[in-house]
């Protein structure tokens, strides 16, 4: 009897592991742009890539559907969510509420020298990208540079959230940022002036946290997220105009 119970637990653990792998695979493909907004999810292709049956893929897709990263298509399939203007506004409001609270707590708790050093390294990556833009004469980041920026930007904000010592809050914010990127990744790279603003904001936010100035840190981060939100909405409006003109041309 105990042996049967052990076998059952092992099988359940293996099943959960495959489902988790399927969940992370779909999430990764959304994050890096392999699966774009509105694109149909192929259970068969994903199962083949995982070397599994379609069941764990279907279960993982169901979880992402519940979390809002996937959506049901009119034809009955499952597609990557296409964010509406209202959804982008709500996601940025959520980010602002949680991250502003977290940065205030981080400033109150104090920051370890190792964490401050790591955040300065992430700032230096943005500075390096700015130097590359100036040297090349380019007005905006290319695809490879945008990937590097995304990693450093996510690292900066995630570390700020970790300083607040609230894992659940960190998970929600990371999922929110991923959903924003579902739309944002389709647009062109950041322009030089945008990158300069982001670098300046990050530098000022970090200094406020290091100095233990909670009110300043909260105010600076709120302004930073609001500016980012305005840019995403402008991109969305431009994308909608392009879609409308394309439909008229068709």
What is the rounded distance in angstroms from the CA atom of residue 17 to the CA atom of residue 14?
5
pLDDT in tens, 106-136: 999 889 999 999 999 999 999 999 999 999 9
pLDDT in tens, 134-186: 999 888 888 888 888 888 888 899 888 888 878 888 888 887 887 777 655 45
**Residue 68 clears pLDDT 90, i.e. is over it:** no
Q: 186, 37 in Cβ contact below 8 A?
A: yes
| Beta bridge pairs of residue 79 | 40, 71
The residue-averaged pLDDT of 45-67 equals 90
Q: If we measure between CA atoms, which residue out of 165, 141, 167, 160 comes closest to residue 202?
A: 160
Question: What region does 53 belong to: left with phi over 0, alpha with psi -120 to 50, or beta?
Answer: beta
What is the rounded distance in angstroms from the CA atom of residue 121 to the CA atom of residue 105?
22
Vertex 129 angle, CA 126 and 135, to 5°: 145
Q: If we measure between CA atoms, which residue out of 96, 115, 108 comes closest to residue 224?
A: 96
First to last CA, the chain: 68
CA torsion angle 80 195 218 69 (round to 10): 0
**pLDDT > 90: percent of the chain:** 40
pTM, whole model, 2 decimals?
Answer: 0.73
Element (H, E) at 79: strand 78-80
What is the crossing angle of helices 167-184 and 85-109, to 10°? Answer: 140
Where do the domains of the chain lie, and which CATH numbers do they carry? 16-80 (1.10.10.10), 85-242 (1.20.120.530)
């Amino acid at each position: 009897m105990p042996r049967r119970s052990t076998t059952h637990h092992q099988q359940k653990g293996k099943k959960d592991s495959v489902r988790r792998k399927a969940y992370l695979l779909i999430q990764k493909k959304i994050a890096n742009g392999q699966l774009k907004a509105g694109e149909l999810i192929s259970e068969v292709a994903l199962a083949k890539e995982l070397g599994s049956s379609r069941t764990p893929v279907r279960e993982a897709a169901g979880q992402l559907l519940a979390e809002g990263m996937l959506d049901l298509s009119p034809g009955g399939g499952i597609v990557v969510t296409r964010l509406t203007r209202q959804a982008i506004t709500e996601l940025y409001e959520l980010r602002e509420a949680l991250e502003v609270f977290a940065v205030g707590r981080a400033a109150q708790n104090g920051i370890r020298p190792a964490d401050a050093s790591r955040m300065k390294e992430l700032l230096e990556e943005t500075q390096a990208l700015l130097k590359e833009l100036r040297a090349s004469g380019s007005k905006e980041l290319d695809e490879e540079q945008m990937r590097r920026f995304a990693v450093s930007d996510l690292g900066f904000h995630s570390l700020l959230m970790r300083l607040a010592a609230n894992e659940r809050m960190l998970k929600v914010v990371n999922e929110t940022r991923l959903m924003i990127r579902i739309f944002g990744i389709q647009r062109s790279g950041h322009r030089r002036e945008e990158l300069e603003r982001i670098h300046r904001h990050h530098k000022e936010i970090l200094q406020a946290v290091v100095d233990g100035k909670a009110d300043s840190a909260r105010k600076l981060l709120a302004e930073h997220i609001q500016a980012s939100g305005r840019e995403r909405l402008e991109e969305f409006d431009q994308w909608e105009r392009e879609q409308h003109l394309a439909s008229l041309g068709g």
